């Protein structure tokens, strides 16, 4: 049996931290390895206490002496360079499309709005899902992210996303690291290709993406190519 999913949290509002502690701590499958309140503390926490999932708030001060919000996209990229297999889950009140897009393109696995009560109630299940390579966006965040996509002017999947899914279909039991080696790219590149494909297909995990891509005809020839 696999061990518990280890979670680290960056959040400066004590009531929210208490809520996370109560909700996630009640799950027998999850272990909170640490909670911090300043942006500069999250990377040292992860070095000292490795985690499978890190939950990040956006509007957190950089440090006790610097009240400016920490640079979240820079921090996500830095975390993923040091811990390529960690899942990043952002929780925020901000619905600005450009920020959501930047965060997802930086390699985040999900974006939950704090007023999404259904997602907050299901937080343990969402944490488990992203730890397994899935993605999750609150409905409003997903709608905002997809708002300017012109379906008639671009394919639903890019060629590289199709290729990544074809590789997943050919090697369904491979980890992200193993897929990256086969693809001759970095772990973060594979993560970004897959998360982008999930968003475009409207699914949350690899299995569902492969199934839908097959239904839409994207994998017919590529599966054969990947196995040859």
Give 159-207 pLDDT, tens digit per residue: 788 888 888 888 888 888 888 888 888 888 888 888 888 888 888 888 8
CB 40 within 8 A of CB 62: yes
100 and 164, same domain (yes or no): no
pLDDT at res. 170: 82
Average pLDDT over residues 11-30: 90
77 and 172, same domain (yes or no): no
CB 201 within 8 A of CB 156: yes
121 and 12, same domain (yes or no): yes
80 and 134, same domain (yes or no): yes
CB 39 within 8 A of CB 31: no
In a domain, 77, yes or no: yes
Mean pLDDT of the chain: 86
CB 183 within 8 A of CB 164: yes
Least confident of 8-12, 31-35, 37-41, 224-228: 224-228
CB 77 within 8 A of CB 106: yes
- Closest C-alpha among 94, 104, 33 to residue 59: 94
In a domain, 94, yes or no: yes
In a domain, 27, yes or no: yes
Tell me phi and psi for residue 88, to 5 degrees.
Answer: -110, 125
Give 62-74 pLDDT, tens digit per residue: 999 999 889 898 8
Tokens of 206: 């690899």
DSSP state of 151: G
Exposure of 31 by Cβ count < 10 A (0-12 exposed, 13-18 middle, 19+ buried)? middle
pLDDT at res. 180: 87
**Number of structural domains found in the chain:** 2
- What is the pLDDT confidence band of residue 90, given thresholds at 50, 70 and 90? very high
Query: Distance (Å, rounded) from C-alpha 128 to C-alpha 87?
Result: 10
CATH number at residue 168: 1.10.10.10
Pick the last residue of a domain from 102, 127, 146: 146
3-state class of 88 per DSSP? strand
- What is the pLDDT confidence band of residue 222, given thresholds at 50, 70 and 90? very low
In a domain, 228, yes or no: no
Average pLDDT over residues 72-101: 90
**How do beta strands 30-36 and 5-10 pair?**
parallel
Q: Within a 13 Å sphere around the CA of 206, how many CA atoms are in the beta-carbon half? A: 23
207 and 122, same domain (yes or no): no
Q: Is the pLDDT of residue 155 over 70?
A: no
Domain interval for residue 207: 151-223
Pick the last residue of a domain from 114, 146, 178: 146
Pick the last residue of a domain from 146, 180, 201: 146
CATH number at residue 69: 3.40.50.2300
Give 121-150 pLDDT, tens digit per residue: 999 999 999 998 888 999 898 888 777 664
Tokens of 11: 């959040």
44 and 124, same domain (yes or no): yes
pLDDT at res. 74: 87
44 and 58, same domain (yes or no): yes
In a domain, 129, yes or no: yes
117 and 166, same domain (yes or no): no
Q: What is the dihedral of CA 58, 61, 67, 73, to 10 degrees?
A: -50
Give 29-53 pLDDT, tens digit per residue: 999 999 999 999 999 999 999 999 9
In a domain, 218, yes or no: yes
């Amino acid at each position: 049996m696999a061990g518990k999913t280890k979670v680290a949290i960056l959040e400066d509002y004590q009531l929210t931290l208490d809520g996370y502690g109560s909700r996630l701590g009640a799950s027998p499958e999850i272990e909170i390895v640490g909670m911090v309140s300043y942006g500069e503390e999250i990377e040292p926490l992860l070095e000292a206490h490795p985690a499978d999932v890190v939950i990040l708030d956006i509007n957190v001060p950089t440090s006790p002496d610097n009240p400016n919000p920490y640079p979240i996209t820079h921090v996500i990229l830095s975390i993923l360079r040091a811990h390529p297999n960690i899942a990043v889950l952002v929780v925020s009140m901000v619905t600005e499309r450009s920020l959501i897009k930047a965060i997802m393109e930086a390699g985040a696995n999900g974006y939950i709005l704090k007023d999404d009560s259904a997602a907050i109630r299901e937080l343990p299940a969402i944490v488990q899902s992203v730890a397994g390579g899935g993605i999750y966006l609150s409905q409003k965040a997903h709608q905002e992210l997809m708002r300017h996509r012109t379906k008639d002017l671009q394919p639903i999947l890019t060629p590289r996303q199709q290729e990544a899914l074809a590789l997943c279909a050919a090697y369904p039991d491979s980890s992200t690291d193993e897929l990256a080696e086969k693809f001759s790219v970095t772990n973060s590149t594979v993560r970004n290709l897959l998360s982008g494909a999930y968003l475009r297909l409207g699914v949350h995990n690899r299995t569902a993406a492969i199934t839908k891509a097959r239904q839409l005809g994207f994998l017919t020839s590529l599966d054969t190519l990947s196995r040859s």
